[in-house]
Amino acid sequence: MGAADPASDINEAIMAAADAIAAADTDSLDEDGDGDEDEDVSSSDADLLDLLGLPAYDDIDMQEVPGPTSEEEEGEAADAGEASEPDAQFDPAVPPQHNYLGDVDDLGMSGQLFEDNHRCTLPLFALPGVVLLPGDTLPMRLVDAGERALAERALAAPVPYNRIVAVVHARRQLNGRFSLMPIGCTAEVRQMRRLEDGTINCVARGRQRLMIGRRRGPVGVLDFTRVPVTIIADWPPLHVPREVRALCTYWGPWAHRPFDAYRLAASAQRLFACLAPKARPFCGDPLELSYWLASNLPLKDETRQQLLECLSAVERLALEVHLMSKMSNLHCRVCGAQIASARDMLVMSEEGTSGVFVNNYGYVHDMVTLRVVRQVVMYGRPETEHSWFPGYAWTIANCRICATHLGWRFTAVRPHLAPAAFFGLRRQAISEGWSEGLTRQPGLSLHAMTDAAAGRPGALSV
């Protein structure tokens, strides 16, 4: 068989993004329980657990979560007259404070950024399950002595490297080892507290993209205290010249629309509003919006890493428009069971529909919050200790089919707190579902898109 024509795939991807933009400009898209414990398990479930070699449900505290309650059922419950007082809405400003870490000292923030293509050496944190983007918040509980040494080195570094660390995604290979992704992000430690047992609690903020000196390789090869990095340039997008928009040039609209960052940003805002209608509109330039969408869309780690590696805001926004126009359901990454709809995203933090949190053992979880999740069972009893959302108790949520740890269910323990319950799904445990097959993978370079446009301008017509 002959090799596929890359220009054809590129043009198809650009056409898909352009069609999504046109549809967002002309069409208005429609916007779119809590159950009793059930300890009885069907014989088919028992046979499946036996086949998978998992413990029987009878040996574990388990509660199956039923489907969502309809609006009619909720209305009938309200008519029953149990709750006459109005619900108190959860404050989305609380989760970004990470109060579960206890008292931390505010170290302030530095407004100084490194110049483009600046080269230096930084302490490196390789985190599985986390793709840090500029503007993201990263809480960490450093229990390991090696991790604490990295933080101490960053705190002792001279200006302008003081409190600056490098963070990259560590991907697990088939052999069980981890490999480092070549592109990561600098992070500035802004809050910190040393505990009596030596543990360091800190909160950092993503700043600039970087490329590590050594590309993919097994974790342990590099000296993580001094890793050579190069700052990647992020040029602010420019407006399309007025003469071009007024059709006073030889080239028609098809030549500039796929590369108009502000047009792409407006289309991306409208598409995201359809997925999360209650989310606050993002205020910022197209570059900041491209990173914010990459952080808040319910995407797995690999897709977010590919978005981080995009060369420009235009490329990243075009791919996000393409993804959102086809985004449908969320699936369990192991067995493929459909567990949620992308339209069930819920805003529980002022940072958006997702958040990064750390548990007592220092493991960092990046998760997406949703109103409803299906095909899950709850293990254990609700716990309020170390809850990432004050006023809510957390319970481990596993896939009903394969028992994979999907995330947690959070239930309100304060009277009349709304929402009464919601879910947080780990990005490591989910995969995206699409209404149609994607013609390409994220990560296409802008230069390749430009070359394709020059070769077949008719393919870019909107």
> How confident is the model over 259-292, as pLDDT tens digits?
889 999 999 999 999 888 878 888 889 999 999 9
Most confident range, picked from 27-36, 139-148, 271-280: 139-148
CA 206 to CA 100: how far, in whole Å? 21
Between 433 and 215, the higher pLDDT residue: 433
Backbone angle region of 210, left / alpha / beta, with phi > 0 → left and psi within -120 to 50 → alpha: beta
Comparing 10-19, 263-272, 318-327, which segment has the lowest mean pLDDT? 10-19
Most confident range, picked from 8-17, 40-49, 188-197: 188-197
Integer angstrom CA distances of residue 122 from 134, 179, 232, 366: 17, 18, 15, 23
pLDDT on residue 58 = 40
Shortest CA distance to 440 belongs to which of 27, 147, 8? 8
Domains and CATH numbers, the chain: 11-84+235-462 (2.170.150.20), 102-231 (2.30.130.40)
Backbone angle region of 28, left / alpha / beta, with phi > 0 → left and psi within -120 to 50 → alpha: beta
CA 78 to CA 88: how far, in whole Å? 16
Kindly tell me the sign of the dihedral angle through the C-alpha atoms of 238, 242, 247, 250.
negative
Per-residue pLDDT band for 15 (boundaries 50, 70, 90) equals low
Kindly tell me the sign of the dihedral angle through the C-alpha atoms of 232, 233, 239, 243.
negative
Between 257 and 118, the higher pLDDT residue: 118
Strands 124-127 and 119-122: unpaired
Please check whether residue 138 is in contact with residue 188, taking contact to mean a CB–CB distance below 8 angstroms: no
Shortest CA distance to 189 belongs to which of 132, 229, 235? 132
Residues paired with 355 in a beta bridge:
367
Integer angstrom CA distances of residue 257 from 18, 29, 165, 359, 460: 8, 21, 38, 45, 9
By CB neighbour count within 10 A (0-12 exposed, 13-18 middle, 19+ buried), where does 355 fall?
A: buried
Kindly tell me the sign of the dihedral angle through the C-alpha atoms of 79, 83, 86, 87.
negative
Shortest CA distance to 322 belongs to which of 448, 453, 438? 438
Which alpha helices (DSSP H) does 93-216 contain, by range?
Answer: 145-156
Per-residue pLDDT band for 345 (boundaries 50, 70, 90) equals very high
Q: Which amino acid is at 433?
A: G
Comparing 18-32, 90-104, 277-291, which segment has the lowest mean pLDDT? 18-32
Per-residue pLDDT band for 197 (boundaries 50, 70, 90) equals very high
Strands (E), 115-199: 119-122, 124-127, 137-142, 164-172, 178-180, 183-194
Please check whether residue 141 is in contact with residue 101, taking contact to mean a CB–CB distance below 8 angstroms: yes
Strands 430-434 and 327-332: antiparallel
Integer angstrom CA distances of residue 21 from 25, 152, 190, 270, 304: 6, 47, 38, 10, 21
Angle between helices 313-326 and 6-26 (to 10 degrees): 70
Task: Name every residue whose Cβ is closer than 8 Å to that of residue 293 and which is 6 or more positions away in sequence.
Answer: 268, 272, 282, 317, 320
Kindly tell me the sign of the dihedral angle through the C-alpha atoms of 58, 405, 140, 388.
negative
Task: Name every residue whose Cβ is closer than 8 Å to that of residue 250 and which is 6 or more positions away in sequence.
Answer: none
pLDDT digits (tens, 9 = 90+) for 406-436: 999 999 998 889 999 999 999 999 998 765 4
pLDDT on residue 26 = 45
- Torsion angle, CA of 363/364/367/371, rounded to 10 degrees? 60
Distance spanning both ends of the chain, measured CA to CA: 33
Q: Which two tokens stand for residue 35?
A: 């159950």
pLDDT of 437 over the 60 cut: no
